[in-house]
Chain A
Amino acid sequence: MLEITSSNARNWSRLGSRGVFGQAILALAENRPDLMVLSADLGNSSGLGRFKQSYPDQFVNVGIAEQNMIGVAAGLAKENYTVFATSFAPFIAMRASEQIRMNMGYMGFNVKAVAIGSGVSMAYLGNSHYGIEDAAIMRAIPNITVVSPADCAEIVKCVYAAADFDGPMYIRLTGGPNNPMVYTEEYEFVIGKAITLREGSDITIIANGTMVYQSLEAAKLLEAQGISATVVNMHTIKPLDTSVIDKAVASSKLIVTVEEHSVIGGLGSAVAEYKSGLRNAPPQLTLGLPDHFGKTAEYPYLLDAYGLVAGKIAQSIAAKYAE
């Protein structure tokens, strides 16, 4: 069992999300003979190199065939295996989208589809490899729980929680190596339950994935400008923890959502859908990736260009707050 400590957190941060996913799944396998891990020929790129050496009987490479991977995963899950099926975000969420709909949504098989390198972390590999629409697509399929962990520690928490969670899940991993850490010590992680990381009186920032850290940093910058912000880690996009939105609506003058995903269909949309039915709700600022296929660049450059770094998030929020 991996534990969150400050030294582990430092190592995990350096290793990045896919490396930590690999470590977590390796640790998970120790006591889980029912665990099967599938890859569509991206085992090494998904941090599963050690896993396939240590547990060759529990690893299946189906070849470059994501549609088949989801069907095979479902067949194994039907026979009571706990199955993690992995690939890069667009290939699993979009190439195999209808297989996910039939096998995981409609039949509800206990498969965890893990999207490696979602958001724009694939950098120079280009838009073909980015996951900017995946949460929107997965969220629209009935029965599928959608989770986007905040940092490498939460990836560990999420892998353990997913293995014990009886139902299909889509796990969206954002961030590259040198992923900033939100958590450096143990905490309670429950699928479907948002975590309020910071209390403030003026606005509420709801974020997930890599944007949780950036939002916390943005909140510090806003504090210096006299804007007091609550920051919520909404790691589970579906089902949405609406209690924190109720609270924000009652106490905040502005609600902000921040995500490394298109502004269409993801966390921002999920919050807006719920909020639109509430009386006297404050306005919402939806920060995320724009609805386009842009030029590609290094990952940190892209986050900066899209305004998804603390300084620019704080600027956008301050401008909206001043309206």
Chain B
Amino acid sequence: MNEQHLRAIAKQMRRKILDISHTCNMSAHLGGGLSMVDLTATLYGDVMNYDRSNPSWEGRDRFVLSKGHGVLGYFSALVVNGVISEEVFNTFQTNESDLIAHPVMNLALGIESSNGSLGQGLSLAVGMALAAKKRGQKHHIYVLLGDGECNEGSVWEAAMSAAQFKLDNLTAIVDYNRLQSDGAGADIIDYIHFEEKWRSFGWNVCSLDGHDIPAIHHAFTECTVADKPKVLVAHTIKGKGVKFMENNNDWHHNRLTKPFYEQALLELEGN
């Protein structure tokens, strides 16, 4: 792992997120996109096996964005790592674009699935991992969820089945930023004993700082237990990288007007 390289990727991704959120001239899911950047930067910058010039290559590792509103932390990884072009990226949230506020399945662009309805991606990933197991294929399935998303009961149905099917080729990542649409998760449905919940559902649980790239890399590549699906409970900061957005739920979905954009760039460069 080259930490400097991954940090540079993460920084470029944040820059891309700010640029596109400003130029698209409409609200975008900034907070939850920024919180997951170090996770997807590590995945796409080092951990995942894929072919940028042939995104539908059969042997690729698969990534499912279950928290579909996290597209800014996803499309930015695709563009910075050369899977999609700048030209495509710049169509974000324009009429009839392939890149809108939630992923639309498009293997040519490296987008594995359509999302936007929370609580469904883990089930899909379980099916994909089960298929790979049945065929003895070696690729790995990654699926990124939000902590708020784990309010959905279907997440836990899927979690039980992944453990039952012994899917050690499946890694879930929870972007645990503690904020959801209406506010703090603790005030809505408290995530008490969150790690223990996953552990009790039969998962191999890695709890970590979701902005510590060496720790993220280590969790992805080591910390493996045979026959168990793995979950990274990644403690993150919503809006990470731009101080005035950090832990500020006004930036869950908001418009990045010029004064805010300029201030955000200064803060990003200062980091």
| Mutual binders A and B | yes
Q: In the complex, given contacts A67-B153, A68-B158, what are 18 additional A-B residue pairs having Cβ atoms less than 8 angstroms apart?
A: A57-B134, A62-B161, A63-B157, A67-B119, A67-B154, A68-B123, A71-B121, A71-B123, A71-B124, A71-B158, A74-B127, A76-B127, A78-B127, A79-B131, A79-B132, A102-B115, A106-B114, A107-B114
Minimum CB–CB distance from B78 to chain A (whole Å) comes to: 19
Give the number of residues in A that approach B within 8 Å (Cβ atoms): 25
| Contact bitstring B145-176, A, C-beta under 8 A = 1, else 0 | 00000000110011011001100000000000
B161 touches A65 (CB 8 A): yes
Complex contacts, B165 vs chain A, CB 8 Å: 60
Which of A60, A68, A77, A103 counts the most chain B CB atoms within 10 A? A68
Residue B99 lies at the interface, judged by CB distance under 8 Å to chain A: no
B161 touches A68 (CB 8 A): yes
Distance A57 CA – B130 CA, assembled complex (angstroms): 11
Could you name 23 residue pairs across A and B whose Cβ atoms are closer than 8 Å?
A62-B157, A62-B161, A63-B160, A65-B160, A67-B119, A67-B157, A71-B120, A71-B121, A71-B126, A72-B123, A73-B127, A74-B124, A75-B123, A75-B124, A75-B127, A76-B127, A76-B130, A78-B124, A78-B127, A79-B132, A81-B131, A99-B120, A102-B116
Complex contacts, A71 vs chain B, CB 8 Å: 120-124, 126-127, 154, 158
Distance A106 CA – B120 CA, assembled complex (angstroms): 13
Complex contacts, A155 vs chain B, CB 8 Å: none
Residue A98 lies at the interface, judged by CB distance under 8 Å to chain B: yes
Complex contacts, A81 vs chain B, CB 8 Å: 131
B126 touches A72 (CB 8 A): yes
Minimum CB–CB distance from A289 to chain B (whole Å) comes to: 30
A68 touches B114 (CB 8 A): no
Complex contacts, A62 vs chain B, CB 8 Å: 157, 161
Residue B129 lies at the interface, judged by CB distance under 8 Å to chain A: yes
Distance A70 CA – B125 CA, assembled complex (angstroms): 12
- Tell me the B226-266 residues at the A interface (CB within 8 Å): none
Distance A263 CA – B117 CA, assembled complex (angstroms): 31
Minimum CB–CB distance from A274 to chain B (whole Å) comes to: 30
Distance A64 CA – B174 CA, assembled complex (angstroms): 25
Distance A75 CA – B132 CA, assembled complex (angstroms): 10
Residue B105 lies at the interface, judged by CB distance under 8 Å to chain A: yes
Contact of A63 among B119, B121, B122, B161 (CB under 8 A): B161
> Which residue numbers of A lie inside 8 Å of B, CB to CB?
57, 60, 62-63, 65, 67-68, 70-81, 98-99, 102-103, 106-107
Complex contacts, A68 vs chain B, CB 8 Å: 123, 126, 154, 157-158, 161
Distance A77 CA – B157 CA, assembled complex (angstroms): 19
Which of A57, A74, A75, A98 counts the most chain B CB atoms within 10 A? A75
Residue B128 lies at the interface, judged by CB distance under 8 Å to chain A: yes
Distance A102 CA – B117 CA, assembled complex (angstroms): 8
Complex contacts, A72 vs chain B, CB 8 Å: 123-124, 126-127, 130, 158, 161
Q: Which 8 A-B pairs have the closest CB atoms?
A: A75-B127, A71-B123, A79-B131, A68-B157, A65-B157, A72-B127, A75-B128, A67-B154
Minimum CB–CB distance from A298 to chain B (whole Å) comes to: 34
Residue B113 lies at the interface, judged by CB distance under 8 Å to chain A: yes
Complex contacts, B117 vs chain A, CB 8 Å: 98, 102
B158 touches A107 (CB 8 A): no
Distance A230 CA – B114 CA, assembled complex (angstroms): 45
Distance A36 CA – B160 CA, assembled complex (angstroms): 20
B130 touches A107 (CB 8 A): no
Contact of B105 among A63, A70, A107 (CB under 8 A): A107
Complex contacts, A78 vs chain B, CB 8 Å: 112-113, 124, 127-128, 131
Complex contacts, B112 vs chain A, CB 8 Å: 78
A99 touches B123 (CB 8 A): yes
Complex contacts, A76 vs chain B, CB 8 Å: 127-128, 130-131
Distance A72 CA – B134 CA, assembled complex (angstroms): 13
Complex contacts, A79 vs chain B, CB 8 Å: 127-128, 131-132, 135
Distance A75 CA – B121 CA, assembled complex (angstroms): 9
Write the chain A residue with the least CB distance to B122. A71
Write the chain A residue with the least CB distance to B116. A102
Write the chain A residue with the least CB distance to B105. A107
Distance A43 CA – B11 CA, assembled complex (angstroms): 51
